[in-house]
Every structure is written in C-alpha cells, then in structure tokens.
Amino acid sequence: MSKINVILAIALCAAIAASLLLGSVPLPLDRVVGALTFQASAGDQLVVWDIRLPRSLAAALVGAALGMSGAGLQGLLRNPLAEPGILGVSATAALFASFVLYFGLTATSPMILPLAAVAGALIATLIVAAAALRNLSVVTLILIGVGLSSFSAALMALLMNLAPNPFSLADMVNWMLGSVANRSFADLAFAAPMAGLGMAILWMSRRGLAALGLGEETAAGLGVNLKNQRLAVIIGAGISTGAAVAIAGAIGFVGIVAPHLVRPFVRYDASRLLVPSALLGALLLVMADIGVRVIPTDFELKLGVVASLIGAPIFIWIAARRRLA
C-alpha cells in the first residue's frame, strides 16, 4: 500500500471515530468506548450503534463509491472535469426514486426507494454501455449522458410541479438534496455489495486506464481493447453511483474533487488514482457530515448542500486552471 493510501486510511478512521464523538449533543470518549463495548447505558448505545456509526459508514461508503467512479471516468475520458453525473446515472436514479415518492409507494416497504434508485441507475448504465459497445466516440458518450441527465431533470421538475401534496414535494426535495441521516445497517447491507461490485470492476480496469493516459491509439497499440475498457469503466461507475444514490440521494462534486486533489501525489498515474480517490472521497463526506451535525442551525443542513458548497468553488478553480493551461 502506498504512503498516500496509508495516510488517507488513517485520516478516514480518525474522522469516523470523531463522528462518534461529535453531534448535536457531543459524547465524551469514555462513553463512546463504553457504548462500542456494550458497557454503557442503553441511551449511549442507541446513539452510537443505531444513529452515528451507520450514518458515518454510509457517508464513507457513498464518498468512496463516488470518488473512485470519478477517478475511473476521468481516466477513461482523459478529462479532470468528468464525474459520475456525466453518465446520467445519478439523475436517472434520482428520477426513479422521485417516482416512488410521488406515488407514495414508500408506505408499502422502506426498501422500495433504494430499489427504485438502483433500477434507475442500472437502466442508465445499460443505455450508456450499449452506446459504448457500438464503438461510439467519447464525445458521443458524454453527450448521451448529458441528454439522460437533462431529460431526467426535466421529468423530476415535472413531478415536483405536479406533486399531489406538500408532503410528497418535501420528500422529493429532501431526496434531491442528499443526506445520510437516519440510515441503518440494513441500508448499508443493501448498498454495500453493489458499491463493492462496482468498485471492484473499476479496480480491475486500472491497467487499461494507465494505458489510456497515453492516448487511445497508443493504448490500442499496447493491446488494450478499447471497447471492453469503456464498458468496464462505465458499468463499474454506473453500479457504484447507483449504490451511492440509493443510500444517500443526490450528492455532487465528490467525484470531481477527490481525484483532482490526490492526482499530484500519484504522479498523475490513472491506475494508481482509484484507491486514494475512494479514500479521500470517503474522508470528505464523513467530514462534511460531521459539519452538518455540529453547525448550529434550527434544521439540520443536507449533506448534498454542504458537499456542493465545498465542491463547487473547487470545481470552478479546476476549470479555470484547465482553461488557463
């Protein structure tokens, strides 16, 4: 394991530990340790095991999935501004979740919402993957993703406009803003295998990403099957992003910011960018979620809002530097 991975892994563990201590009501270290070892009061165990720990792990899982997906897509498209939303997966997953909320289907089962998000993500992934199988250009793939995002956003706006009651509208807005509040280990058990599968596919495509950094013609000359490489990255990123949306709703900019911040530490090698991007993405979202909990507001801010407030200025900085270059 490289030095940057070790540092980020330690920082992530420290952030998760801090998340157990901090919140609207901070807990001292001895009470947290007691709760983790089942030697504290029932109240402390409830706060640590049922509220804070699954919430922090959910933030870490979402950040890791989005960070690695962003790194994979940036390597595939050779563009530091690429991110999971560029495939239209996030928007389509959110659209399917909005349909469920619009028709009130969540009353039948709490798993309906994440299942709908996963279904939307898989459908978008299949559409883009089918385009990749036809050997369409990278620009065409991006345009298809942009089209899917725009169409899904338009349908979501229509659903909000036609919301039958303010409660359905509030649920849809909350989903679009993104949050890991009130997540449970059951939610993690549902999303983690899918996120793990997507990230494993991305990891297995790392050597092809390194070759693509030299250009498509050079990569093909080195024996890389460009069609299979595109397909692997698109499917891996799509599945990972779908898992992230299923558990947290729409979270933006992590997939752009995390790979960009760690790229100089891996000597701009796309094959070595995946793991540190996942670790930094997880770290960023865990820290952002801590901020959400400790900021003194009447109502808790949404994680997606805080992530965008941090990520958008960094995105502008990245775009400006690329323009100047």
pLDDT at 20: 94
Q: Is the pLDDT of residue 324 over 50?
A: no
Please say if the pLDDT value at position 223 is more than 80. no
Q: How far apart are the first and last CA of the chain?
A: 32
Task: Please state, in angstroms and rounded to a whole number, the distance separating the CA atoms of residues 171 and 266.
Answer: 41
Residue 111 has pLDDT above 70, yes or no: yes
Residue 22 has pLDDT above 60, yes or no: yes
CATH code where residue 42 lies: 1.10.3470.10
Structure token pair of residue 48:
């640590």
Q: What average pLDDT does the structure give for the chain?
A: 86
Structure tokens at 290: 């801590």
Q: For residue 215, give Cα distances in angstroms to 31, 144, 267.
A: 55, 22, 17
The domain containing residue 147 runs over which residues? 3-324
This prediction's pTM: 0.90
Among 149, 88, 134, 98, which residue's Cα sits nearest to residue 231?
Answer: 134
Domain count, the chain: 1
Spell out the residues 6+ positions from residue 127 whose beta carbon is closer than 8 angstroms to its own. 88, 144, 148
